[in-house]
Amino acid sequence: MNWVMSAGVAPLVCRPPFTFRVVGRTDSTNPMMHFHRGELIFNWECNVRELRVHDPATAEQHSLPDKGFITTNEWHEIAWEIRLDGTRVVVDGEVRYEGEGDYSSIESAPSVGPCFGSSIMIREFTITEG
């Protein structure tokens, strides 16, 4: 994992099941959350309405039309639930993605950050077991 572009990195290694929760805001495109080989990309620069989900175990990419837009310069709560057998993304109380996978052997430090010149502000960054 390359944390050079991260605005926040968990100070510990996490192993599923856990929830990675961020309350943050961005000024433009590409706020990203990372765990192992996975990442979430909101307001993707190629299509701001598309949510990009990269699987934490395989890095397989999923494109979800009309699930990736978050308003700029406003606070949003994003929760990435990583279970032993699946993952779920919830934004401001709305489920935006659910997928299956084997995450039982992954260990990594979750992080959040900007990309391609955007900026991100983090108000809360929490890891909750279970």
Give me the sign of the Cα torsion angle 111, 62, 77, 122: positive
- Supply the pLDDT for residue 2: 46
- Tell me whether the omega of the peptide bond preceding residue 17 falls within 30 degrees of 0, making it cis: yes
Domains by residue range for the chain, with CATH: 14-129 (2.60.120.200)
Q: What is the pLDDT of residues 28-54, one digit of tens each?
A: 888 889 999 999 999 998 899 999 999
- Supply the pLDDT for residue 9: 67
Whole-prediction pTM value? 0.91
CA 61 to CA 121: how far, in whole Å?
Answer: 26
Residue 59 structure tokens: 């890095």
Q: What is the pLDDT of residues 55-110, one digit of tens each?
A: 999 999 999 999 999 999 999 999 999 999 999 999 999 999 999 999 999 999 99
